[in-house]
Amino acid sequence: MAKQVIIEEFGGPRNMKLVETEVGDPGPGEIRIRHEAIGLNFIDVYFRTGTYPLELPHGLGMEGAGVVEAVGEGVTHLKPGMRAAYAANPPGAYATERVMPAAQVVPLPDGISFETAAAAMLQGMTVEYLFHRTTPINPGDTVLFHAAAGGVGLIACQWAKSEGITLIGTAGSDEKCHEALANGASHCINYRSDDFVARVRELTDGKGVDVVMDGVGKDTFFGSLDCLKPLGMMISFGSASGNVEAFGLQELARRGSLKVTRPTLFTHIASHESCMAMAAHLFDKIASGAVTIHIDQRFPLDAVAEAHRLLEARKTTGSTILLP
């Protein structure tokens, strides 16, 4: 028997229940994995609240690391006893053990801990596709990154620095700005005390930035567009403050022939080969020391509701993991 966090109806953190469930054998193309650490991400909130629909009851959690217990027919890249990690559909990582599709589960190098992997897979591969698979970004380019002291943000700050990219971050306090700067941001704007659009224009001598990476959504979207230089690219990859409301395409023309995209990690890792390549790139960044994964919060699995409350209140920094 395994312990698993499920929801039976959409809503607040209290709707999550820790239950005992039987874990069977993996079928063709599946594995059974025993978790050592589990990642917590804002996408988990979207599933919990019904922003992203699920057929209920359903487990939550997209990311974990542990030991492969058994493999099903046709699985060749993993063996029982191997260390492994993943960020993958379907949700269900908030569990001590689970059976899941194997295609997006990757072998974990010995030099990377379970905790680091559980905190790094979803956020780190998100940063990988933002910088390498969405629009060309070259050394010397300037990127505006919102929520720069969050889990994705701190990885992005380090990633940008390692590749000679100027990153201007935003964060909600001076303390969070200091953390972003310590991790490689060239500048960080406290959006609670400064107008980030005016400040970005000042920092870029009125030119604007080449790319905006915005996981906040509704609250920052139009301001982000105003930070772009002509022909710039807006990457809207999340909606922590709510979904962006409909807008006319003429807004992009008026601001300088701008481009907007709304990618997801799960499109990028849908191919087994692409997922393996992205994970290998991330692991190389970690192993080289270019990227350090900051785990600033750890919670036991049965305290998952408190972890969600703090995440939604933007009271976390870096990455958060659950320990089964």
pLDDT of 188-228, one tens digit each?
999 999 999 999 999 999 999 999 999 987 888 999 999 99
Within a 10 A sphere around the Cβ of 283, how many other Cβ atoms? Answer: 23
pLDDT at position 85? 98
pLDDT digits (tens, 9 = 90+) for 143-190: 999 999 988 999 999 999 999 999 999 999 999 999 999 999 999 999
pLDDT at position 321? 97
What rounded mean pLDDT belongs to the chain? 95
The continuous run of DSSP H or E covering 281 comes out as helix 272-288
Distance of CA 50 to the CA centre of its chain: 19
Closest CA to 281 of 133, 90, 161: 133
With 0-12 CB in 10 A as exposed, 13-18 as middle and 19+ as buried, what is 34?
Answer: middle
CA distance 296 to 307: 12
* Tokens read off for 324: 């089964």
Query: 135-262 has which CATH code?
Result: 3.40.50.720
pLDDT digits (tens, 9 = 90+) for 81-129: 999 999 999 999 999 999 999 999 999 999 999 999 999 999 999 999 9
Closest CA to 64 of 114, 8, 28: 114
142-145 vs 166-171, strand pairing mode: parallel
Over range 290-294, report the average pLDDT: 95
Amino acid identity, position 146: H
What whole-number percentage of the chain has pLDDT above 90?
Answer: 91
Closest CA to 247 of 223, 266, 263, 228: 223
Confidence category of residue 33, pLDDT binned at 50, 70, 90: very high
pLDDT at position 243? 79
CA distance 308 to 12: 9
**Sheet of 2-7, strands arranged across:** 16-21, 2-7, 58-59
Confidence category of residue 284, pLDDT binned at 50, 70, 90: very high
Q: What is the pTM of this model?
A: 0.92
CA distance 263 to 186: 25
CA distance 290 to 287: 8
More confident residue, 239 or 114: 114
* 242 pLDDT above the threshold of 80: no
Within a 10 A sphere around the Cβ of 68, how many other Cβ atoms? Answer: 22
Q: Give the fold, CATH level 3, of 2-123+266-323.
A: Quinone Oxidoreductase; Chain A, domain 1 (3.90.180)
* Tokens read off for 229: 């230089």
Distance of CA 255 to the CA centre of its chain: 29
Confidence category of residue 315, pLDDT binned at 50, 70, 90: confident
pLDDT at position 317? 84
* Tokens read off for 7: 């929801």
Within a 10 A sphere around the Cβ of 13, how many other Cβ atoms? Answer: 17
* 256 pLDDT above the threshold of 90: yes
Confidence category of residue 247, pLDDT binned at 50, 70, 90: confident
What whole-number percentage of the chain has pLDDT above 70?
Answer: 100
Domain spans of the chain? 2-123+266-323, 135-262
* 241 pLDDT above the threshold of 90: no
More confident residue, 58 or 317: 58
